[in-house]
Amino acid sequence: MSLLDLALPLFRCVDAERAHLGAIRALRLAAPFLRSAADDPILAQTLWGRAFPNPLGIAAGFDKHAEVPDALLALGFGFAEIGSVTPRPQPGNSRPRVFRLDADRAVINRYGFNSEGIPAVAARLARRQRRGVLGVNLGKNKETADAADDYVAGVKALAGFADYVVVNVSSPNTPGLRALQDRAALDGLVARVQAAMPAGAPPPLLVKIAPDLTAEDLADVADVALARGLAGVIVSNTTLARPESLQSAARSETGGLSGAPLMGPSTEMLRRMRRLTAGKLVLIGVGGVSSGTDAYAKIRAGASLVQLYTALAFEGPGLIGRIKRDLVAALRRDGFKSVTDAVGVEA
Ligand SMILES: Cc1cc2nc3c(=O)[nH]c(=O)nc-3n(C[C@H](O)[C@H](O)[C@H](O)COP(=O)(O)O)c2cc1C
């Protein structure tokens, strides 16, 4: 157990946003002292020419302003995704805007892309000495009429720092954003973003989608991703659905639901996306992962990489090591030589 694990119960006593800010501050302070043990080689993969020591990453939204990517990598994550970053700084929605649903192991958030903006994030990333794999997740300012302008600005300013870039068209808290997942809108958006990528060796481009898409929407996204040669798809963002099972009073808050109740639906959507794309794209599975069993289920459904966020808030950073340990055991038990061999076996 680390000091950060011991600090976790303190964060539980304050409201969810202050707990989050406290965790970022603690990570910033602890960063120089963090060292994670080397990962079991069974977890290692090379994707898009990048070496991932393990398939477990921190999802977007935890480190929105790129304050602690290296501390997160030092905690044991195999890759870190920062953002969503908007071109201009914006405050997001008014507080309170994050709610813990303790009995449900879930969170509802309606941050609405609070972002320090591209210049602040670019300055931070420019100071970073490149070590582990870094994803940069791009959003749009609330007031921007043509969304593509904002993603183009993001790519121009930040692609040079990124091992992969994500176009996030699935946050439920920015009006009109999710409509960008429609076939024609997505196709036009991806074309403009690709044209703005740096010449030479541009970083892989992924889109991140909502778990609330219909089967038809999902097929459209798959078609666009394949036709435009995207590097991958992240499945999924938070959901607007409110499963009957939710117990906590905060279930009726407006916003996107994440955590345990999202595990089943987001994994089924991932499985469908794997079938639709026939293993041609790298899929990142995210939504409700809180154990090695959950991570393994995402991998078997088609995820080459897995991310989490909400479970970290409930369990603390000790969870990262536990998930990796249990994943190694599951892979060995089932006779796999590498995590790659397990990807999509149950698609
Ligand atoms: C408080 C909070 C803020 C988030 N902010 C972002 C964001 O800025 N961009 C994004 O793409 N996803 C964001 N997400 C979604 C997560 O990246 C992830 O897709 C989702 O929470 C499901 O994973 P989980 O159940 O492990 O949390 C956010 C999630 C939470 C809980």
Domain count across the chain: 1
Residues of the chain scoring pLDDT < 50: none
Burial of 175 (0-12, 13-18, 19+ CB in 10 A): exposed
User: Could you give the 3-state DSSP secondary structure of residue 166?
Assistant: strand
Query: 256 C-alpha to center of ligand 1: Å?
Result: 8
CATH of the domain at 59: 3.20.20.70
Nearest CA to ligand 1 atom 6: 61
Partners of 164 in beta bridges: 135
Nearest CA to ligand 1 atom 22: 287
What is the 2 CA–ligand 1 centroid distance (Å)?
A: 25
* d(C-alpha 258, C-alpha 240), whole Å: 9
Range of the domain at 138: 33-342
Task: Give the per-residue pLDDT at 2.
Answer: 67
Mutate which of 62, 237, 320, 323 to test ligand 1's pocket (most atoms within 8 Å of Cβ)?
237
Whether 8 is in a domain gets the answer no
> Is 247 within 8 Å of 259 (Cβ atoms)?
no
Q: Exposed, middle or buried: residue 243 (CB in 10 Å: 0-12, 13-18, 19+)?
A: middle
Q: Is residue 42 part of a domain?
A: yes
What pLDDT sits at residue 13? 61
pLDDT for the residue 12: 66
C-alpha to C-alpha distance for 187 and 259, rounded to whole angstroms: 30
Q: Assess if residue 73 is contained within a domain.
A: yes
Atom of ligand 1 nearest to the CA of 16: 1
Quick check: pTM over 0.85? yes
239: CA distance to ligand 1 center in Å?
Answer: 10
Pocket test for ligand 1, best of 309, 310, 319, 323 (most atoms within 8 A of CB): 309
Residue 233 covered by a domain: yes
Distances (CA, A) of 341 to 53, 66, 91, 241, 344: 15, 32, 44, 33, 8
Give yes or no for a cis peptide into 204 (omega within 30° of 0).
no
CB 218 within 8 A of CB 273: yes
HEC states along 232-248? EEEECCCECCCCCCCCC
Query: According to the model, what pLDDT value does residue 222 have?
Result: 98
Residue 171 annotated to the active site:
yes
15 within a domain of the structure (yes/no): no
Q: What is the pLDDT of residue 77?
A: 98
Q: How does pLDDT run across 289-319, given as a tens digit for each residue?
A: 999 999 999 999 999 999 999 999 999 999 9
Residues with CB under 6 A from ligand 1: 59-61, 64, 83-84, 98, 107, 109, 111, 137, 168, 171, 208, 237-238, 258-259, 262, 286-289, 308-311
Within-domain flag for 139: yes
**Residue 5 within any structural domain of the chain:** no
**Ligand 1 centre distance from Cα of residue 34 (Å):** 24
Contact 28, 71 (CB under 8 A): yes
Within a 10 A sphere around the Cβ of 199, how many other Cβ atoms? 5
| pLDDT tens-digit series, residues 113-151 | 999 999 999 999 999 987 899 999 999 999 999 999 999
> How far are the Cα atoms of 135, 147, 152, 183 from residue 144, in angstroms, in the given order?
24, 6, 12, 21
Q: Which atom of ligand 1 is nearest to the CA of 107?
A: 31
State the distance from the centre of ligand 1 to the C-alpha of 252, rounded, in angstroms: 18
Ligand 1 atom nearest to 238, measured from its CA: 20
Q: Which residues contact 234 (CB under 8 A, 6 or more apart)?
A: 166, 206, 207, 208, 209, 283, 284, 286, 307
Burial annotation 116-125 (CB, 10 A radius, 16+ → b, else e): bbbeebbebb
Please indicate, yes or no, if residue 14 is contained in any of the structural domains.
Answer: no
214 φ, ψ (degrees, to nearest 5): -75, 170
Please report, to the nearest 10 degrees, the dihedral formed by the alpha carbons of residues 4, 39, 284, 228 taken in order: 130
- Sign, CA dihedral 150-156-157-162, equals positive
Amino acid at site 322? R
